[in-house]
Amino acid sequence: MGKIIIIKTDDPDDMLFQKIVSLLSISNEKIELIHANSANVLSFPGLEIQQHQRRVLRDGKDISLTRLEYSTLVFLASNPGIVLTRSQIFETVWNMDSNSCHSNVGNVICNLRKKIEPDSKNPTYIKTVLGVGYKFSG
C-alpha cells in the first residue's frame, strides 16, 4: 500500500485542492484520491454528524462516541459509497502505519454499529465489503 496524504483546506471552491492534485498528477506515481468532505455537517437519513461541535445525533438524540469511533465515522461518512480498506482506515484514524490493524478497525466498527445503527446485525450505514474493508451508505 502506498502513502496517504491528507490535505485540509478552508477553500470553499476547492481551488487549492485542485492545484495540488494537478501538481501531484505530474509525477509518474499512481495516485488514488479520496476527497474528504469539509462540510461542517454530514447529514444522512436518521444520522447527523456536526463536525464543528464534534457531535453525532441519531434520530435527534446525542450519541456518545470515543475519539476513535468518532474519527472512523467521520472518515467513512465523508467518503460515502467509497470502499475503504482496513489499512486506509487505520492509517488515517490512528495516524500510524498499519501492520496488524484489522482487529483494531473491526472492533471500532463493531462498537460504532452498536451505537449508530438501528439494527447493528443488519447495518444501514456502515457496510462490510468482504475481504476488503468498509463503505458508508447514506
All structural domains of the chain, each given as residue ranges with its CATH number in brackets, are 15-136 (1.10.10.10)
**Binning pLDDT at 50, 70 and 90, where does residue 97 land?**
confident
What is residue 95's predicted lDDT score, i.e. its pLDDT?
A: 80
Q: Is the pLDDT of residue 112 over 80?
A: yes
Q: How far is CA 34 from CA 17, 81, 84, in A?
A: 12, 11, 9
What is residue 82's predicted lDDT score, i.e. its pLDDT?
A: 95
Q: Which residue has the higher pLDDT, 53 or 31?
A: 53
Please report which residue ranges of the chain form alpha helices under DSSP H.
15-25, 67-77, 86-93, 102-116
Structure confidence by residue, pLDDT tens digits, 55-72: 999 999 999 999 999 999
Poorest-confidence range of 19-23, 27-31, 35-39, 102-106?
35-39
What is residue 64's predicted lDDT score, i.e. its pLDDT?
A: 97
Picking from 106, 47, 121, the residue whose alpha carbon sits closest to that of residue 80 is 47
Q: Is the pLDDT of residue 129 over 80?
A: yes
Q: Is the pLDDT of residue 100 over 90?
A: no
Computed over every residue of the chain, the mean pLDDT equals 84
Residues 6+ apart with CB under 8 A from 59: 46
Q: Is the pLDDT of residue 45 over 90?
A: yes
Rounded CA gap, 88 and 79, in Å?
A: 12
Q: What is the mean pLDDT of residues 114-131?
A: 95
What is residue 69's predicted lDDT score, i.e. its pLDDT?
A: 97
All three cell numbers of 5: 496524504
